[in-house]
Structure 1
Amino acid sequence: MGFRKNENEAGSSSNSIPIAREDTPLLGKSKQSSGFKTLANIFIAVVGSGVLGLPYTFMKAGWLFGMITLFSIALLTYYCMMLLVYTRRKLESVNEYSKINSFGDLGFAVCGSVGKLCVDFMIILSQAGFCVSYMIFISNTFAHLFNSTASQAHSYLGLTPKKWYIWGCLPLQLGLNSIPTLTHLAPLSIFADVVQLGAMGVVMGKDAVIIANNKPVVQAFGGWNVFFYCVGVCTYSFEGIGMVLPLESEARNKKNYGLVLGLATGMISILYAVFGVMGYLAFGNETRDIITTNIGTGFLSTLVQLGLCINLFFSCPLMMNPVYEVLDRRLSQGSYTLWSRWLMIFLVALIALFVPNFADFLSLVGSSVCVALGFVFPALFHFIVFKDEAGLGKLILDGAIVVIGIILGVSGTMISLREIFGTTA
């Protein structure tokens, strides 16, 4: 373990760069956050675009199997989040260790530069992956709203409408992501969550009306062959692992942080389960990869979908800031670099061009990256720090989570890639 008082290397996530970073709560940086404010920040950090792919995932997995998997992933996510908290508290109780502000700092504290490199690399992949999913959502939604089903398959100058919308977003994203200071855009992320919760309410309202008048055939169990796919999407949906340590630092009553985190995780899990099941029960086998495209093109439906697109569009620069913080630190000693930003946004758009299905990509990111960040690293770090004092049972549990996480990650990634290439073909 190598996290001493070396601020040049360890302070990567606590530099005085005024941007929204990995360790920046969206509702402000008060050292006396109330329980309600902490709860709200957890909701903002966790609830994201992944929920929109849950009905499609439940269609593939079956509503009962999907719910069991979702709640299991929620429980495991909460447990691993608390492992991060316990590990950080243990290290900070030792006087020779300086303040640990973020997930990356914890990786350095436990495993030195290698640990921080691994965490930084996964953060780059996860944050960029979230933005790829945003691009896919925006292009698919615009094609649904403004192009007929037949015209979506036609190409114009060699590009389908969905690909044209992605290329159309690129110049604007290059401009937004060139802004070095994005603190003033943070309220847009909060507004995005409000719009998303409103959209979920509209979708569930329409679901309820459809379920009352039409009950399509649904299945409770879709087969074990979709288990890893379902795990990937569910893991993606709980995407706030990077904010666990900063929010615990901000909490006024740190002793109750685990209770607040558990309450938030439970509430989000129930919301996700109801949303996923209702979407599947309403549309059955006709459930699409983005559930909002199932609700038609009426005025309210169109308004909701456009609102989601606008907010996800402006959320991209905020989601990419942890990536830029890592790249600037490693490539230019923390100095602003425009070329790295433009290169990353171009790569994000390029990947989005070749992934047609929203839920398939959620499963890929969830399996390949979110499993590592959410399960493998927390259990591994906890094992290393507590190996000399924890009981045998806890060490075995840590090891089991690491092994299970690797199995889920490798298997889920292979299955998700097969789904993506199968869809593309």
Structure 2
Amino acid sequence: METTRLRNESYNDLSYTTDCPSADSSPSSDNRSRHYQRLEEDPTSSTTWFQTLVHLLKGNIGTGLLGLPLAVKNAGIVLGPISLVFMGIIAVHCMDLLVKCANHFCQRDQRPFVDYGDAVMYSMESAPFQWMRANSIWGRRIVGFFLILTQLGFCCVYFVFLADNIKQVVEAANSTTNDCSFNKTVVRTESMDSRLYMLSFLPFLILLVFITNLRYLTVFSLLANLAMLGSVVMIYIYIGQDIPDPSHLSYVSSWRAYPLFFGTAIFAFEGIGVVLPLENKMKIPHHFPVVLYVGMATVTVLYISMGTLGYLRFGDDIQSSITLNLPNCWLYQSVKLLYSFGIFITFALQFYVAAEIIVPTFTSKVPDRCVLLVDLATRSFLVCVTCALAVLIPRLDLIITLVGSVSSSALALIIPPLLEIFTYYSEGLSRWIIFKDMEITLEMPWNQVWGVC
């Protein structure tokens, strides 16, 4: 799923933390303990368990949710939900590993914070291989690379999502009625190609990302969240009614289709970037594991219900986004428009993450008088790149699978188990833990390659 975190109006890494635990016991105490005090804690900026839970849910629910019915189709009506449960358990476990390892380095080195990239870099410094210790800086660079790839991948998905949904609304405008009964025979008026819709959104999105102070988007972001929440509720109301006989649906899909399920599912579960900042903002940080398990259990139930009900409701006619299957009445056309508005605003938030990593690289090399021009030019170029990629692959399901299989799986499933091995190897790890971590890490690339192919 899509992840965005804002930190003091600047951003260097999606997983940066503003506070971090320090040891509250003697050096002989267990470094893995979650009971710690904060360094330089600002009580006014701390969050309660409920606020943390809300942020965790928001960080894991996005466009990936709407593609899960197609994912279940690619896995089968029985195998799909079971696989979602399994992937949910693995994803939560990897999130927990990241938090545990970050806390370990904070306690060991008395650091005010440790981000995802720093955690990987410090773990490589503790690795048993000399060449890994000598090149530990590449740990941070690899995390940064996948982070940029993921965030710009989200932006590509948004281009296609906006084009597909707005195109459908425009083409069905003449036949849109107040009757919301599903009608497969509705005749749409052909309009321009979806690629032209993407190009038409390009100048507006470029202007949107020129807003470098996200406080100006606060009101619009709130409205976007409300619009997306209302849209999801309306989708659930519709797909929960008049479910046809599921006997004709496949219980288990072919092995050729299953990798497409993996890419879409991991795209939806990719919320690991919000874990460290949320945990380190809590007033009582050792309560975070409970919040994590409750929140991700809720997310998993939401994913399973949306994927299963959506596939049951529309069967083999399910499209890449379930919004494209909604009936052509004004009520559900408004759902598409509201969700599209939410995605339009969210584009700026997701793009902000990548821009704050890339733009300073260019602006730091020019005179002060050229900083603004280079900043805007770089942002425009990045938006054009995401639009060009979306135009080249104008299928929402394929882009979601590609982003999920390549970058999301690396950040959410492959790196965290390796992080645990490198972090605690010198302290002694049981063979079971090493086997478990290697099993997660080595099995994911196979699904990753299949998903890309």
Alpha-carbon distance between aligned partners in 2 of 1:125 and 1:354, rounded to the nearest angstrom: 17
Secondary structure at the residue paired with 1:341? helix
Partner of 1:100: 113
Structure with the higher fraction of residues in helix conformation: 1
Partner of 2:27: none
Residues 377-416 of structure 1 aligned to structure 2 (within 5 Å): 377-389=415-427, 390-414=429-453
- Whichever residue aligns with residue 205 of structure 1, its letter is I
Q: 1:241 to 1:144 in 2, by over 3 A?
A: same
Quick check: 1:350 aligned with 2:375?
A: no
Q: 1:68 to 1:186 in 2, by over 3 A?
A: farther
Alpha-carbon distance between aligned partners in 2 of 1:132 and 1:260, rounded to the nearest angstrom: 31
How many residue pairs match? The answer is 392
Alpha-carbon distance between aligned partners in 1 of 2:299 and 2:76, rounded to the nearest angstrom: 20
Secondary structure at the residue paired with 1:179? coil
Residues 97-176 of structure 1 aligned to structure 2 (within 5 Å): 98-111=111-124, 112-147=136-171, 152=190, 160-176=192-208
Partner of 1:199: 231
For structure 2, the residue ranges without an aligned partner over 5 or more in a row are 18-41, 125-135, 173-186, 366-370
Structure-1-length-normalised TM-score:
0.86
Q: 1:109 to 1:194 in 2, by over 3 A?
A: farther
Structure 1 residue 104, shift from structure 2 partner: 2.5
Q: 1:194 to 1:403 in 2, by over 3 A?
A: same
Secondary structure at the residue paired with 1:22? coil
For structure 1, the residue ranges without an aligned partner over 5 or more in a row are 1-12, 155-159, 415-425
Residues 26-425 of structure 1 aligned to structure 2 (within 5 Å): 31-95=45-109, 98-111=111-124, 112-147=136-171, 152=190, 160-186=192-218, 188-211=220-243, 217-333=248-364, 337-389=375-427, 390-414=429-453
Q: 1:251 to 1:324 in 2, by over 3 A?
A: same
Alpha-carbon distance between aligned partners in 2 of 1:167 and 1:15, rounded to the nearest angstrom: 32
Alpha-carbon distance between aligned partners in 1 of 2:145 and 2:232, rounded to the nearest angstrom: 32
Contact 1:232 1:365 in 2 (8 A): yes
Q: 1:93 to 1:376 in 2, by over 3 A?
A: same
Q: Deviations over 1:298-354 (max 9, x none)?
A: 111011100111110111111011111111343344976222211110011111112
Alpha-carbon distance between aligned partners in 2 of 1:393 and 1:104, rounded to the nearest angstrom: 26
Structure 1 residue 142, shift from structure 2 partner: 1.1
Contact 1:100 1:106 in 2 (8 A): no
Contact 1:32 1:251 in 2 (8 A): yes
Structure 1 residue 31, shift from structure 2 partner: 3.9
Contact 1:371 1:408 in 2 (8 A): no
Alpha-carbon distance between aligned partners in 1 of 2:279 and 2:218, rounded to the nearest angstrom: 20
- Whichever residue aligns with residue 412 of structure 1, its letter is G
Structure 1 residue 184, shift from structure 2 partner: 3.2
Alpha-carbon distance between aligned partners in 2 of 1:317 and 1:208, rounded to the nearest angstrom: 33
Alpha-carbon distance between aligned partners in 2 of 1:135 and 1:308, rounded to the nearest angstrom: 13
Secondary structure at the residue paired with 1:63? coil
Structure 1 residue 297, shift from structure 2 partner: 1.9
- Structure number with larger C-alpha Rg: 2
Percent identity between the two aligned chains: 23
Contact 2:402 2:451 in 1 (8 A): yes
